[in-house]
């Protein structure tokens, strides 16, 4: 029981919450770019929060469900249709066998996530099902998905679903995102910037250029200048580290970032803003807001509290719905 890729998309892959504990070996955590959307996809259908999901970009894959399944689609809105019927994102859906999922139109966002009840039967590498493209490990054979690939489900039960059905609850996602305004904290080398460049960083917009990918978002905008030329030792970096490149432009390291870097670390995107950043498309603009560590921590804790409340509500609704079936 599983699904088949009948038309491949752009760099679609299996991702979970990441592979931690191996950065000292040069292996980045990786994982879903938008971890809020990936978590909510699992929450809606009662999965473990870290269950691997399918991460897709537009144009996304076309998918044939060879067996019936409960699913959820979250993140970007790509105009999802099943058997030609428009389906809602952020809501559980019962899908009959031999149903075809297509994404017809890019409406909003950059990455969409698909979860299936009990998850995909993927092999783990170093305790994670995420795809590591550099080492060709994890996910589906360590690569992006291609036509005729089959993803098997952990759930082998025949759900006997005859009709495409939306279950009667939906996640409100607005509270998790800040659109194109990205909170950041000062980095270890922030003081290396000229004062005018520090001001410029929070008063100008920056464009995500077409060289951006899962390793990093390269930004175009007002040149940022250092007060003096200083050599930086190669130091640890993480998801959201903002580095200043030799061309006076910034790069924000994303999920597949390298483990160390030698460019000045002028900022660190707040964890609560990483999902918003992940959903901004190439060619769009972002603005930076400087926050304190305490403010960033408070926002992150609020985000986690909202996720916990959503999980409690979804678990209750699932139990009530299937008890009455």
Q: Nearest 5°: phi and psi at 216?
A: -170, 150
CB 270, CB 303: distance < 8 Å: no
pLDDT per position as a tens digit, 3-60 = 999 999 999 999 999 999 999 999 999 999 999 999 999 999 999 999 999 999 999 9
**Token duo for residue 253:** 């390291």
Q: What per-residue confidence (pLDDT) applies to 325?
A: 62
Answer yes or no: is pLDDT of 209 > 90.
yes
Residue 76, SS3 per DSSP: strand
Mean of pLDDT values over 93-103: 97
The band of 314, judged by pLDDT with boundaries at 50, 70 and 90, is very high
What is the C-alpha R_g of the chain? Answer: 20
- C-alpha closest to that of 262 among 165, 210, 323, 188: 188
Q: What per-residue confidence (pLDDT) applies to 258?
A: 93
Answer yes or no: is pLDDT of 269 > 90.
yes
**Calpha distance 299→304 (Å, rounded):** 9
Mean of pLDDT values over 256-282: 96
- C-alpha closest to that of 74 among 8, 128, 15, 158: 15
Q: What per-residue confidence (pLDDT) applies to 131?
A: 96
What are the structural domain ranges in the chain?
2-173, 181-291
pLDDT per position as a tens digit, 148-179 = 999 999 987 777 888 999 999 999 999 999 88
Arch. (CATH architecture) of 181-291: Beta Barrel (2.40)
Q: Are strands 69-77 and 92-95 parallel, antiparallel or unpaired?
A: antiparallel
Angle at 165 between CA 160 and CA 171, to 5 degrees: 125
């Amino acid at each position: 029981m599983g699904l088949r890729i009948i038309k491949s998309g752009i760099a679609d892959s299996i991702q979970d919450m990441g592979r931690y504990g191996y950065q000292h070996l040069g292996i980045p955590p990786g994982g879903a770019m938008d971890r809020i959307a990936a978590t909510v996809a699992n929450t809606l259908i009662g999965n473990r929060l870290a269950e691997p999901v399918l991460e897709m970009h537009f144009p996304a894959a076309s998918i044939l469900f060879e067996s019936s399944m409960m699913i959820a689609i979250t993140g970007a809105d790509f105009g999802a249709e099943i058997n030609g019927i428009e389906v809602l994102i952020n809501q559980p859906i019962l899908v009959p066998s031999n149903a075809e999922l297509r994404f017809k139109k890019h409406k909003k966002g950059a990455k969409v996530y698909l979860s299936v009840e009990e998850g995909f039967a993927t092999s783990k590498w170093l305790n994670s099902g995420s795809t590591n493209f550099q080492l060709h490990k994890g996910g589906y054979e360590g690569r992006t998905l291609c036509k005729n690939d089959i993803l098997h489900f952990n759930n082998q039960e025949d759900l006997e679903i005859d009709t495409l059905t939306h279950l009667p609850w939906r996640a409100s996602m607005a509270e998790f995102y800040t659109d194109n305004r990205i909170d950041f904290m000062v980095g270890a080398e922030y003081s290396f910037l000229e004062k005018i460049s520090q001001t410029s960083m929070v008063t100008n917009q920056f464009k995500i250029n077409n060289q951006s990918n899962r390793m990093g978002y390269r930004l175009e905008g007002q040149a940022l200048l250092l007060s003096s030329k200083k050599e930086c030792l190669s130091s640890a970096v993480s998801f959201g580290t903002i580095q200043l490149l030799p061309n006076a432009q910034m790069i924000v390291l994303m999920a597949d970032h390298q483990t160390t870097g030698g460019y000045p670390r002028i900022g660190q995107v707040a964890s609560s803003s990483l999902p918003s950043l992940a959903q901004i498309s190439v060619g769009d603009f972002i603005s930076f807001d400087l926050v304190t560590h305490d403010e960033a921590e408070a926002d992150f804790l609020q985000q986690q509290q909202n996720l916990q409340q959503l999980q409690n509500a979804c678990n209750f609704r699932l139990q009530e719905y299937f008890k009455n079936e």
